[in-house]
Structure 1
Amino acid sequence: MQLHQFASSTELNTDFAKRLIAIVHQAIEARDHAYLVVSGGRTPQALFEHLSSTDLDWSKVTITLADDRWLSSSEKDSNERLVKSVLLQNKAAAARFISLVTADEKAEAGELAVCQRFAEIPTFDAVILGMGEDGHTASLFPCSAELAKGLSTEQAALAVNPTTAPYQRMSLSQSRLLNSRHVFLHLVGGNKLNVLNQAMAAADPQQMPIRAFLQHPCVDVQVMFATE
């Protein structure tokens, strides 16, 4: 784990965007396509706006989510809605998007179809994770019965039923998220630094699932942190 600290989220987003743009450029030059995984919530919205206006060959970029709530993309709490309305705009509108949601009523019924969407997707070029104050990342919640599966399965995605957060979820598994050339953790706010320190102070991922990423022996997670 490497911690990159910035005085403001503006400075963070400027630096972060440059890193991501370089990664995408390099991927397109080397393999003719780039694969980017993003997270929902308020934290990445300014970063999304910055990226959406960047000169890239977006037609050669595939974007997906680390997780999503089991909602129609028309619902206000849908991460897909956020990505489509903020990131997949302007120049980035040409990018391809892979949804984590199907028309099935229950997430469990859509699990196989979502996994199949990733069957031909190679190693991601960059994954951007977030972190909750309970130490969850993606929709791998410490309160969910599915956590052990999410941290051990080789399948790409799984349905999750958190007990301390609303909505069923579909989450990429730890193994699929870590199948990436670059893994970032995007944090803003002093409270998140306290959670990060707590996560690094012990080793049990069942208590704080983010530990399975931060303390993975083969993955160097880049933590992008701003105090405000």
Structure 2
Amino acid sequence: MNKRVEVLPDKTALIGRSLQVVREKIQQALEASDRCTIALAGGSTPKPLYESLATCDLPWEKIHIFWGDERYVPPEDPESNQRMACEAWLDPVDFPAANIHPIPTGAGDPAADAKQYEQQLQQFFQVPPGEFPALDLILLGIGDDAHTASLFPQTPALKVSDSPVTVGNKDGHPRITFTVPLINQAHCVIFLVSGAGKQDALAQIFASDADDFTYPARLVQPQGELWWLLDEAAGRQVK
């Protein structure tokens, strides 16, 4: 695995560097296959990255957008990851609607919607059931508890190995999430982490002997590149 860790001076520098790396990965994917598939993260850290991407001149018609996880709320809900990304990036550039592949949340049954997204992924990437597609780029963050996507400590979603999508659980609230095997199939995974509140989680994620199911981001070990982009507040103790 090709792992890189960079600690940037502050969040502004973090976003600037993440924009540079994301653009490089988009270009590499376009050169390899004339399209780029990206799974987006929610949370506050990537929002300015999306706003920066909206100012770029990129071939939107060749870029396909997915989400690594979603709260089980309607897309117009303020808590929706889809809504945040659309407002920050996709709507301002008039992104092709056919290239946006949101996680469905309207069935009233999280398991049914997770299955539907699994089928959408299989159809788009032309992979049979039981196999995992390889996205070009997956963006992730971490919580103070070291969760990533909607893979929370000591929850059943962490052990799902036979499906690319499953139902996560946050304090009794369902979420739909990529599974660990799907994330690890990616050509490139980029973690964006900011804030002093993430120091303890990062210490465990980077430790040699911590428990993977207590600190779920440790399970992300992709076949391709793994980038950790941290601001100084988060990463000052990372060696």
TM over 0.5: yes
Q: CA–CA distance in 1 between the matches of 2:18 and 2:152?
A: 26
Instruction: Give percent identity, aligned residues only.
Output: 25
Q: Are 1:132 and 2:143 an aligned pair?
A: yes
Q: From 90, 93, 97, give the equivalent of 1:91.
A: 93
Which residue of structure 2 lines up, in the alignment, with residue 81 of structure 1?
Answer: 83
Within 5 Å, give how 1:5-16 maps onto structure 2.
5-16=7-18
Q: CA–CA distance in 1 between the matches of 2:166 and 2:145?
A: 20
TM score, norm. by length of structure 1: 0.90
Q: CA–CA distance in 2 between the matches of 1:218 and 1:40?
A: 23
Q: From 166, 169, 175, give the equivalent of 1:161.
A: 169
Structure 1: which 5+ residue stretches go unaligned? none
User: Residues 218 and 112 from structure 1, CA distance in 2 versus in 1: closer, same or farther, beyond 3 angstroms?
Assistant: closer
Q: Are 1:114 and 2:122 an aligned pair?
A: no
Which residue of structure 1 lines up, in the alignment, with residue 23 of structure 2?
Answer: 21
Q: Are 1:190 and 2:192 an aligned pair?
A: no
Q: Which amino acid aligns with 2:199?
A: L
Structure 2: which 5+ residue stretches go unaligned? 126-132, 234-239
Which residue of structure 2 lines up, in the alignment, with residue 224 of structure 1?
Answer: 229
CA contact (8 A) 2:4 2:226 kept: yes
SS of 1:221's equivalent? strand
**Cα distance per residue 1:116-174 (max 9 Å; x no partner):** 0100325211111110111110001114233222xxx13110012233xx631000111
Q: Are 1:210 and 2:221 an aligned pair?
A: no
TM score, norm. by length of structure 2: 0.86
**Cα distance per residue 1:158-191 (max 9 Å; x no partner):** 012233xx63100011111122111111100122
**Cα distance per residue 1:20-72 (max 9 Å; x no partner):** 11211221222111001110011111111000111110111011111000110
User: How many angstroms does 1:227 deviate by?
Assistant: 2.8
Q: CA–CA distance in 2 between the matches of 1:218 and 1:56?
A: 27
Q: CA–CA distance in 1 between the matches of 2:33 and 2:44?
A: 32
User: Residues 69 and 129 from structure 1, CA distance in 2 versus in 1: closer, same or farther, beyond 3 angstroms?
Assistant: same
Q: CA–CA distance in 2 between the matches of 1:217 and 1:172?
A: 13
User: How many angstroms does 1:218 deviate by?
Assistant: 4.8
CA contact (8 A) 1:53 1:92 kept: no
Q: CA–CA distance in 2 between the matches of 1:131 and 1:210?
A: 7
For the aligned residues, what is the CA RMSD?
A: 1.8
Count residues with an aligned counterpart: 221
Q: CA–CA distance in 2 between the matches of 1:92 and 1:53?
A: 12
User: How many angstroms does 1:11 deviate by?
Assistant: 1.2
CA contact (8 A) 2:186 2:224 kept: no
User: How many angstroms does 1:17 deviate by?
Assistant: 0.7
Q: CA–CA distance in 2 between the matches of 1:220 and 1:24?
A: 14
Q: CA–CA distance in 1 between the matches of 2:96 and 2:78?
A: 23
Q: CA–CA distance in 1 between the matches of 2:114 and 2:223?
A: 28
Q: Are 1:101 and 2:104 an aligned pair?
A: yes
